[in-house]
Structure 1
């Protein structure tokens, strides 16, 4: 069975796409915490691609997590580009990214700078500023 490339687009040292199971899959499908804010952001992108509402909810900080979460129907995610990962201190970080998608045949770009916090050894998405 062929190895499926991770939707987040992360590559290995040789420039080859990382397999989902060895990349974000270990965070979505196991109880392995993401080691940093960028890895959490990438795994959350994968959760959007795969429709994993459970992971999106559990990785969202309780102070800003919506009570209900629904994905926009008909969205086809096309790719992710991480522009910047800024560590503020040991428990706070920001990740700037651009996620491309298509809805009803029309291309869209989500350019966001997201804020993350680490509590109890786990990183959580807090909120973000969309450009």
Structure 2
């Protein structure tokens, strides 16, 4: 069975974000680039993240982050593109140091040189404190107590 894409599209990784990561295709929309970047974070593909970051705002390097497990992406809004600029409002759930968090951001993208670039965003990180009988933050649809709860 093909591996599902971490971006939550419901498609296999090979048919979803992987062609962008391999340079076989260019993300056609800001949302597609956002999804592929989330997947790159989930798969620790720092080279792709740097390659899709606009040169004017790109950091020199991204350090490995083995302590973070990205578990779910929700696209809240991706309005139509205007004048070669787009935004994507997303929420990314992750687990770190035995705690659950959500990163929420409205990311800005720009179309230049025949492709979309991530420019920047103002991230907000919220700590989650899921209770035993609440839905699991990993988006499995199961209760936290029978899914990812650590005892």
Common fold, TM-score beyond 0.5?
Answer: yes
* Distance across 2 between alignment mates of 1:70 and 1:91: 30
* Distance across 2 between alignment mates of 1:80 and 1:100: 6
Structure with max Cα Rg: 2
Q: Specify the SS of the correspondent of 1:4.
A: coil
Alignment coverage as a number of residue pairs: 124
Given the alignment of the two structures, is residue 117 of structure 1 paired with residue 110 of structure 2, yes or no? yes
The TM-score normalised by the length of structure 1 is 0.90
CA shift at 1:29, angstroms? 1.7
Unaligned runs of 5+ in 1: 11-16
Identify which of 1, 16, 21 aligns with 1:23. Answer: 16
CA shift at 1:68, angstroms? 1.6
Structure holding more strand per residue: 1
Instruction: Tell me the C-alpha RMSD between the 2 structures.
Output: 1.1
Between 1 and 2, higher relative CO (CA 8 Å, sep ≥ 6) is seen in 1
Unaligned runs of 5+ in 2: 125-151
* Distance across 2 between alignment mates of 1:90 and 1:52: 30
Return structure 1 stretches of 4+ with deviation > 3 angstroms.
Answer: none
Aligned position for 2:123: 130
- Map 1:1-131 onto structure 2 (within 5 A): 2-10=1-9, 17-131=10-124
